[in-house]
Amino acid sequence: MKDGTKVLLEQTGGHKRFVENLEAEEGKERLLPQDALARKNTPITTGCLDYFPLALQEIARVSLAGNKQHALGPLHWDKSKSTDEADALVRHLLERGTLDSDGMRHTAKVAWRALALLERELEMEKND
């Protein structure tokens, strides 16, 4: 809807999710389980964001710096640029506690690479 009107896409318990463009939403893959209990057993905010707010901010800065280095345009992960997460993770782990030549923390790069490695594993498992 181009007039800014929002459509209620779903309502679960006391939570409502509105969208402006229903057609675009219909083609998107859902990331969270449809089952209410399974969703409640995936506490993204209280089980991750609230535990590691400073670390996640640092990882986001690493992500932005990597995007500026390797990609043109909006922030996105170009998975074709680097596929050696495990090796890069260990290289940065050896330098943990120090800053890389770009001023980013090696430990934050370890965390980014660990997330990338896990994401790839989960995607491969899902596609099998």
Q: Give the DSSP H/E element, type plus range, for residue 10.
A: strand 7-12
128: pLDDT strictly greater than 60: yes
End-to-end CA gap in the chain: 36
Per-residue tokens: 104:
């980013």
Q: How does the average pLDDT of the chain come out, rounded?
A: 85
25: pLDDT strictly greater than 60: no
According to the model, what pLDDT value does residue 14 have? 56
Dump pLDDT digits (tens) for 63-86: 999 998 887 788 888 888 888 999
> Please, where are the H alpha helices in 27-105?
36-40, 44, 53-70, 85-94
20: pLDDT strictly greater than 80: no
pTM of the model: 0.75
